[in-house]
Amino acid sequence: MSQQQENKGVPILTIDGLSGTGKTSITSQIASDLGWRALYSGLFYRYLAHCQLKQRYSVHNGVEISHVIQLELTNLTCRVNPAGEVTVLAGNQNLSHILSSETVGRAASILAGNQAIREQLLNVQRGALISPGLVAEGRDMGRVVFPDATLKIFLSADEEVRVQRRYNQLNRCGNDVKIADVAMMQASRDERDLQQAYQTLDEDGVLTIDTSRMSIASVKQTIYQALHQLKVIDNLLTTDAHA
Ligand code: DC
């Protein structure tokens, strides 16, 4: 069965891009404007990396981690407020600070190179699809997880802009860091992420948006225009509420 048949007519918007391109804020605001579910797939990799750092399991040649994947990932909840502050809860444990840290980000990027884990994550990610629609953000949403998505977006941004955004985000989440360290860590994470073959770069049919000098409101407006042209939404939404 193709992924489109499995979609059962529920629209899917995929938003891929490197860290600091605005994926998380844009995804959360669009999901809230449209009343759709949001899937933040990077969190899954971060949570698994966190469990690995806590030595809850080890990954050797794709060791079975399905108990963590099936029982725990589906219970993670994530909220993003209009200022871009992310709150992640696992049960009643608040993991926002730890999961947003660069230590976990780096471990997540390494773990993401494990193909067996990526495959085990497919079902959990596809299981997030629910009516009336899904906005899914990550790195491989358009190419691998939802290849028949209704609209695929790839966000890009200049490196300095991405570093500054990541620095602001880390500080908002209570991580005390220096901008030079963020730049260094981001460069090595980018290099590893880009080497892995799962990125949705300039594939055919992907709408690429350079967010370097755009407000969140204008990025959303561009996406709403595309959804309107595809007749997924009736009206062009005004985006001032979260700007
Ligand atoms: O988007 P993020 O920074 O939260 O993601 C953390 C890491 O997880 C990132 O370095 C790459 C990896 N990742 C991935 O491989 N595939 C995804 N769909 C999402 C994230």
For residue 170, report the distance from its CA to the centre of ligand 1, in Å. 16
Region 150-178 average pLDDT: 90
Q: How sure is the predictor about 160, in pLDDT bands with cuts at 50, 70 and 90?
A: very high
Cβ 27 under 6 angstroms from ligand 1:
no
Sheet holding 37-40, edge to edge: 37-40, 134-138, 12-17, 151-156, 206-210
Rg (CA), the chain: 17
Ordered domains of the chain (ranges, CATH): 15-242 (3.40.50.300)
Query: What are the pLDDT digits (tens) for 184-213?
Result: 999 999 888 888 756 655 567 899 999 999
Average pLDDT over residues 58-64: 58
The residue contributing the CA closest to ligand 1 atom 3 is 19
Please give the single-letter amino acid code of residue 94.
Answer: N
38 sits in which H/E element: strand 37-40
Identity of residue 220: K
Cα(238) to ligand 1 centroid in Å equals 30
Q: Give yes or no for residue 32 having a pLDDT over 90.
A: yes
Of the ranges 93-97, 175-179, 193-197, which is most confident? Answer: 93-97
Q: Does residue 82 have a cis peptide bond before it, meaning omega lies within 30 degrees of 0?
A: no
pLDDT tens column, 97-128: 899 998 999 999 999 998 888 988 999 999 99
- Is the shortest distance between the CB of 139 and ligand 1 below 6 Å? yes
Lowest-pLDDT range of 8-17, 112-121, 141-150? 112-121
The tokens describing 153, both together, are 């977006």
- pTM confidence score: 0.90
- Does residue 138 have its Cβ closer than 6 Å to ligand 1? yes
